[in-house]
Amino acid sequence: MERHKKTRLFLVLFSLGFLGVASLVLIDVSAIIALIPGIDAPTMPPALLKLLSLVQPSVILALAVVIGVALAPRVGLSAPAAEAVASGGDVFKPLKSQFAPGVLGGLAGGICIVLISLISRQFLSAPVVDRIAKFSAVVPFPTRILYGGITEELLLRWGFMTLIVWAASRVLQKNQNHPRGGFFVGAILVSSLVFGAGHLPVAYVLLPEFFNGALVLFVIFANSAFGLIAGYLYWKRGLESAMIAHIFCHLLLALASWTGAYF
């Protein structure tokens, strides 16, 4: 890919991802702090605290986008719609082939998460369920759609999963051009588990007195389940298909939450 096209692709994807980062300012920080045991209200003005909280995710997002732009073409991964925008092509054509698989994947992932949550409630205490529900209610719906649906896919799939496939192929498959399928499967599993485990620090801060094996398993499996579907869609259909799936997964979870079937 020519350098100027890579630059445009970076700008397209980073701009999309930054919509999710910017949506973090919609979160009521004071409400979250109130849920954390033993934490006093910060002395810093809430507006300044929100602005500062955007710095780290913006830097990580930029790094993930750079990694994907540089390495995805080398391992056969792509963001077809974003690449069409960057090259001045028809963006709707690649989206058409990604939309239906994305919707089906998102609904399947949402159903899996709901089932995991319903089963996990049998092993989690009432205070844990109550605090998780309150924490979930603090995160606004636009943030779930924009950060979860777009930014997290850029971080986990475009950046991290791509890096794993590239690194594995470089180390274990030196004399072949296209990575073996097993590398993609392994990258999907690793990126999904890392995403799930990445929620454990938040769970520990929010529920320190209830942090046990049942909670750890719930956090990892509930957050990893969808990653398997999104990773497969990214591999076979393109990044936007995974984004569409993530958005529809959150739509289904919002409906399930409204009916009481989910936190």
Question: What is the reported pLDDT for 168?
Answer: 94
Q: How many residues does the chain have?
A: 263
Residues 233 and 128: their CA atoms lie apart, in Å, by 33
Residues 154 and 13: their CA atoms lie apart, in Å, by 8
Q: Which amino acid is at 47?
A: A
Q: Which residues contact 87 (CB under 8 A, 6 or more apart)?
A: 5, 8
Q: Which amino acid is at 160?
A: F
Residues 188 and 236: their CA atoms lie apart, in Å, by 12
Residues 139 and 15: their CA atoms lie apart, in Å, by 22
* Among 216, 8, 256, CA closest to 111: 256
| Three-class secondary structure of residue 179 per DSSP | coil
- Write the burial class of residue 188 (CB in 10 Å: 0-12 exposed, 13-18 middle, 19+ buried): buried
pLDDT digits (tens, 9 = 90+) for 124-174: 999 999 999 999 999 999 999 999 999 999 999 999 999 999 999 999 987
Average pLDDT over residues 6-33: 94
pLDDT digits (tens, 9 = 90+) for 91-109: 999 999 999 999 999 999 9
Residues 16 and 145: their CA atoms lie apart, in Å, by 12
